[in-house]
Structure 1
Amino acid sequence: MKTERVTAYIALGANLGDAVATISGAMNALATLPDTQLTRRSSLYRTAPIDAGGPDYINAVVEVSTALPAPLLLLQLQRLEQGAGRERSYRNAPRTLDLDLLLYGEAQLQGPALTIPHPRMAARAFVLVPLAEIAPQRVSAAQLRRVSTQTIRRL
């Protein structure tokens, strides 16, 4: 029996330590997840924190093809965050690595641990701009206009 694969999009962000190296390493680590293949990666972007303090973030988005169910994929993302030293000391705290499951096929899920599509993705240039780079069909011009005042720079 063949396992069904789903295209999922994951946002990456970091603003502590060597954020560029962390994001690059996380992209490589995502390619090694079980039953998952990294199919596209955006450029890296520098963005100012939103609703938070600390240094600028390095952000990116990747596309994966996976046979993992969404909750299990989320668990794998959280393990990678923990491996990078992620601490959740308070909401929007600076972080060594943040991995957010943005989209999982056409699924719409809402629960205490996982909501898909990601509930704040449409309000964040650091998500929409790199997502539009690798999956322009997933981001509308109107969405990009709504976040056009947020500072974002491709590295």
Structure 2
Amino acid sequence: MTVPRETAKPGCRLSAVTLDEASIGRGGADVEHERATAIYDLLEDNAFEPVNDPGEGPYILHIGLAENRLVLDVRREAGDAVVQHHLSLTPFRKVVKDYFLVCESYYQAIRTASPTQIEAIDMGRRGLHNEGSDLLRERLKDKIEVDFDTARRLFTLICALHWRG
């Protein structure tokens, strides 16, 4: 169940997101820029609440990769551990791969295609992004409550973790 933003408890949000550089590694300048942008967008507007957390946010999210799993380490701003979840990346493979292919087509189309063609490709791109966001919300079900916009921003960040530059 997702808590609508207007009824969420105060403080049920992320105040910081960090990436585990040991597991994710550094990318080129473009990759690092995309990751930073994804984090900035996520922090600007989000609704995030670990299920059954007796405390209150805001929360800090540390993201890493371990054995083909996405590691979401949630802490309070003071650094106290709240919960750590490990999500298999396998369910995301196809949608991330398809999303990258459509994004590549979109960026190529911007240079040469008609506005109608660009719009059609962009609709496909947004559809895949929504599909990835829905998948993430389903994978987080009973673990962390997020609204759709937060799931979209987290999915963008998951994609950014896969960019090779």
Q: TM-score, normalised by structure 1?
A: 0.31
> More helix by proportion, 1 or 2?
2
Larger Rg: 2
Q: TM-score, normalised by structure 2?
A: 0.30
